[in-house]
Structure 1
Amino acid sequence: MALEIERRFLVASEAWRPHVRWSRNLQQGYLAGSADGLTLRVRSDGLGAAWLTLKYPASGIARHEFEYAIPQQDADALLERSAARVLKQRYGLDLPGGDWVLDVFAGENAPLVIAEVELESEQAAVAIPPWCSCEITGIGAFSNAALAQRPFQLWQPEEQQPWILNLETQQA
């Protein structure tokens, strides 16, 4: 059983771009989700790579994760049946301290940009780049599953404002 340990951050500038190693467009559909953190997701890059993933909480910031490659045809059928979806461009970054990826959200979740780092342990030291404005690890509203159900553009202005102000302060 795989354990996913990650920290997540809102991104305040374009200074991450020189660190890009690869990129791919992703579409994620959520087949099941619950208040206790269990999610069942299908993900496709539209180029023939697709995965089915089950996640549920372990302890702290760790989650159990089961991920399996599936045929693109199966992914397409499951995506059609997913009412809640997320579209994003994912970038792999060449930063130290863990596996870094950055998601630039599209559609109703634009203009969100979120960086994630997967760690070996919850205690692992990580150098947080200056373009990461604030940590959102554990804030459920920013999970991909939550953003699929309730996109950022549908948040009330008073819900968005603290995050937008934080980003603007970092950019200044």
Structure 2
Amino acid sequence: MAQEIERKFLVKGEFKPEAYSSSHIVQGYISSVRGRTVRVRIRDEKGYLTIKGAANASGTSRYEWEKEIPLGEAQELMKLCEPGIIDKTRYLVRSGRHIFEIDEFCGENEGLVIAEVELGSEDESFEKPPFVGEEVTGDIRYYNSQLMKNPYSNWK
């Protein structure tokens, strides 16, 4: 069983000059039930199907299964998704021996920027780049499946 171990942080400063890659992501959810989500993602010109399980108590670790699927199939599956689409640009930034994925959201989640780092274990140390702000690991408001239902623009 594949475990995803990651921590999430709000971004508090400029990160784009440090990015070595970026891609456009559009994703929807066939199921966004808490504890088990089924996501369809189109990242640039590739499609993916992802299933995620419930997070542990800290929100750091959960089951994740992901497979690349043909772009046409991903586009068709997007038609089956629940209302609400996540639209974002993902930037990759190296920090020490880790890579931070920084998601800059568009549409109804515009203004929200989140950095994630994947780890080998929950207690693994990592170098925080200067743009990393408040930790939001485990705060379900920042899960993409929740941002689809309650967009950042509604929080004000």
**Fold match, TM over 0.5?**
yes
Q: 1:22: how far off?
A: 0.8
Deviations 1:126-146 (A, max 9, x none): 222222220000000111110
* Partner of residue 55, structure 1: 52
Structure with the bigger percentage of helix: 1
Structure 2: gaps of 5 or more residues: none
Q: 1:46: how far off?
A: 4.0
Q: 1:81: how far off?
A: 2.1
> Which of structure 1's runs of 4+ aligned residues deviate more than 3 A?
none
* Partner of residue 111, structure 2: 111
Provide the TM-score with structure 2 as the length reference. 0.92
Structure with the bigger percentage of strand: 2
Structure 1: gaps of 5 or more residues: 158-172
Query: Does the CA-based 8 Å contact 2:23-2:44 persist in structure 1?
Result: no
Deviations 1:45-66 (A, max 9, x none): 242x110000012534111100
Q: 1:11: how far off?
A: 0.5
Report the aligned-residue RMSD: 1.3
Q: Distance in 2 between matches of 1:128 and 1:101?
A: 12
Query: Does the CA-based 8 Å contact 1:55-1:65 persist in structure 2?
Result: yes
% identity of equivalent residues: 38
The structure number with the bigger radius of gyration is 1
Instruction: Determine whether 1:122 maps to 2:118.
Output: no
Provide the TM-score with structure 1 as the length reference. 0.84
Q: Distance in 2 between matches of 1:85 and 1:153?
A: 14
Q: Distance in 1 between matches of 2:61 and 2:97?
A: 17
* Partner of residue 5, structure 1: 5
Q: Matched residue pairs, number? A: 153
Query: Does the CA-based 8 Å contact 1:88-1:104 persist in structure 2?
Result: yes
Q: 1:2: how far off?
A: 1.4
Q: Distance in 2 between matches of 1:109 and 1:64?
A: 26
